[in-house]
C-alpha cells in the first residue's frame, strides 16, 4: 500500500513538472507588496500546492485538533478511577 502511495506521488510530481514545462509563457505575479515574473505552469502549480497546504492547515485546526483533544480527555476520564462523591453513598 505504501509503495502504491509513493508511486502515485511520483506520477503526480511528474505530471506537475510536465504541466509546468508545457506552460512556459511568462506571467507577472503581483501580490500588492511584491511582484515577480514566473512561468504560467509554475505559478499555477505553486498556487495549487499553497492551496492544498492552507486547506490542510485549516482542516487540522478546525477538525482534527479539537477531536484529538476530545479523545485525549475521554481517554483520561476512562483511565482515572472514579472517586466516590457524596451522592454515591447512602446514609442509613
Q: Which secondary-structure segment (H or E) carries 36?
A: strand 35-39
Q: Which three cell numbers stand for residue 77?
A: 476520564
Min mean pLDDT across 7-11, 13-17, 23-27, 88-92 is at 88-92
Q: Cα(73)–Cα(46) distance, rounded to whole angstroms?
A: 39
Supply the pTM of this predicted model: 0.64
Q: In this structure, are residues 19 and 45 in contact, taking their beta carbons and an 8 Å threshold? A: yes
Q: Is the pLDDT of residue 1 over 60?
A: yes
**Predicted local confidence at residue 64, as pLDDT:** 93
Q: Cα(36)–Cα(6) distance, rounded to whole angstroms?
A: 33
pLDDT digits (tens, 9 = 90+) for 14-52: 988 888 888 889 999 888 889 989 888 888 888 888 999
Q: Cα(32)–Cα(92) distance, rounded to whole angstroms?
A: 78
pLDDT digits (tens, 9 = 90+) for 57-86: 999 999 999 999 999 999 988 888 776 666
For residue 57, the Cα-to-chain-centroid distance in whole angstroms is 4
Amino acid at each position: 500500500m505504501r509503495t502504491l502511495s509513493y508511486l502515485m506521488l511520483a506520477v503526480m510530481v511528474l505530471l506537475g513538472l510536465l504541466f509546468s514545462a508545457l506552460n512556459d509563457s511568462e506571467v507577472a505575479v503581483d501580490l500588492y507588496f511584491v511582484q515577480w515574473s514566473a512561468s504560467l505552469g509554475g505559478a499555477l502549480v505553486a498556487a495549487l500546492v499553497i492551496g492544498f497546504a492552507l486547506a490542510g492547515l485549516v482542516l487540522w485546526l478546525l477538525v482534527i485538533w479539537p477531536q484529538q483533544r476530545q479523545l485525549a480527555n475521554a481517554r483520561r476520564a476512562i483511565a482515572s478511577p472514579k472517586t466516590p462523591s457524596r451522592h454515591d453513598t447512602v446514609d442509613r
